[in-house]
Amino acid sequence: MKTKRFTAEEAAQAAEILTSGGLLGIPTETVYGLGANGLDPEAVARIFAAKGRPQDNPLILHIPSADWLERYCEHVPEAACALAAAYWPGPLTMILERKPMVPDVVTAGLDTVGMRCPSHPVCRAILTAAGVPVAAPSGNTSGRPSPTTMADMLEDMDGKIEGIVDGGPCSVGVESTIVDLTVRPPRLLRPGGITLEQLRAVLGEVAVDPAVTRLMGAGEQPRAPGMKYRHYAPKAPVTVVRGDPAESARCIRRRIGDRDGVICFDEFAALFEGHPVETIGPKDDQSEQARRVFDALRAFDGTDAAQIWAQCPDPVGIGLAVSNRLNKAAGFHIIDAEAEP
Ligand code: TXA
Ligand code: MG
């Protein structure tokens, strides 16, 4: 199949791919998504095939406005309306009770469904033109880092989807925050563009699912099925070094082998001359780190580094999402710089 490239101005034309049962690469403010008509079970099934995605991993539905929640969700709680008023359109997915009309293939048979209203203007134009909820996971092959540009997505999906729309590089760079509103207290299942602090400002108490900060043991089930899979991982093993940036840089410097690569803050790149280095932005600019973290992981897929050492921001603000993605790429293999001799 030839994958047709659309410009941002051609969003409405591209949306016809969705309404005719095809797969469309869509830009969002978080990452590029692999979209299909969320009410068409056959089209949705093709998403799983194109990504090589396990069937038990549910998809989220993208809608153009919060008014659409009632169409697909039962008993929409006050908390959902409050979050939508505060942070939609934007990088936030809410888990809510589903209505029976949502196809089983979307929810992987769960009685809940993830709902998201994206802010990217091109995505909104596509959703409005399509007039259907769009089921869309991140546009990567299962297990690879999520794509934050059209070129990244084409690396994985060229020839496997009918079309893709170019919306430029993603402004957030990590996937949406997922909050489960079907449990009390509400629970953060995946950290993302809307911070835990922002959720708590609206909801009060918010629990953090253990899968966010540590590896799930055998027999343990994270509430977001996707959080149990090894993710974002380059071919070489990754070790995350946390702590004060100057300390973590020194710690990596001491341990690094000749053929090892480094993911580091801009300020420390010079320390690792002669090694493959990917920078993720200044140490104090977590938004920039979020925009660049997947690119850095993707870049290492193409190298023959023996292992990769990664500096990591503190887990506050959007730093929680950046550290979660790095920790997952490392299979939660983490060392503390300050604990070093
Ligand atoms: O930013 C994003 O959310 C991007 C863009 C394209 O919108 N999408 C995205 O989708 O990241 P995906 O499929 O790569 O990640 C969705 C996560 C998965 O871990 C999945 O298991 C979880 O959401 N999920 C989906 N429906 C769920 C449900 N009903 N209950 C719990 N977790 C759910
Ligand atoms: Mg994904």
pLDDT of residue 304: 87
pLDDT of residue 133: 98
pLDDT of residue 339: 80
CA–centroid distance, 209 to ligand 1, in Å, is 15
Q: For the chain, how are helix, strand and coil distributed in percent, rounded to 5? A: 35, 20, 45
Q: Are 241 and 219 in contact (CB under 8 A)?
A: no
User: Cα–Cα distance between 83 and 202 in angstroms, integer?
Assistant: 7
pLDDT of residue 222: 82
**Does ligand 1 come within 6 angstroms of the Cβ of 324?**
no
pLDDT of residue 273: 96
pLDDT of residue 230: 67
Could you say which residues of the chain have pLDDT below 50? Answer: none
Q: How many CB atoms lie within 10 A of CB 33?
A: 30
Tens digit of each residue's pLDDT (9 = 90 or more) over 276-313: 999 999 999 999 999 999 999 999 987 889 999 999 99
pLDDT of residue 215: 86
Tens digit of each residue's pLDDT (9 = 90 or more) over 116-173: 999 999 999 999 999 999 999 999 999 899 999 999 999 999 999 999 999 999 999 9
CA-176 nearest atom, ligand 1 = 1
pLDDT of residue 271: 98
pLDDT of residue 320: 98
User: Cα–Cα distance between 293 and 334 in angstroms, integer?
Assistant: 17
**Does ligand 1 come within 6 angstroms of the Cβ of 90?**
no
HEC per residue, 127-192 = HHHHCCCEECCECCCCCCCCCCCHHHHHHHHCCCCCEEECCCCCCCCCCCEEEECCCCCCEEEECC
Structure tokens at 86: 């505060």
Of 44, 93, 161, the one to substitute when testing ligand 1's pocket (max ligand atoms within 8 A of C-beta) is 93
**Does ligand 1 come within 6 angstroms of the Cβ of 108?**
no
First to last CA, the chain: 56
Q: Where are the beta strands (DSSP E) in the chain?
A: 4-6, 24-26, 33-37, 60-62, 92-97, 112-116, 134-135, 163-165, 177-180, 187-190, 207-208, 238-242, 261-264, 277-279, 308-311, 334-336
Of 18, 44, 60, the one to substitute when testing ligand 1's pocket (max ligand atoms within 8 A of C-beta) is 60
CA-224 nearest atom, ligand 1 = 32
pLDDT of residue 134: 99
Within 8 A by CB and 6+ apart from 127, the residues are 15, 62, 63, 64, 118, 134
pTM of the model: 0.97
Structure tokens at 7: 């410009």
Structure tokens at 142: 């299962």
Reference 290, options 194, 153, 226; nearest CA is 194
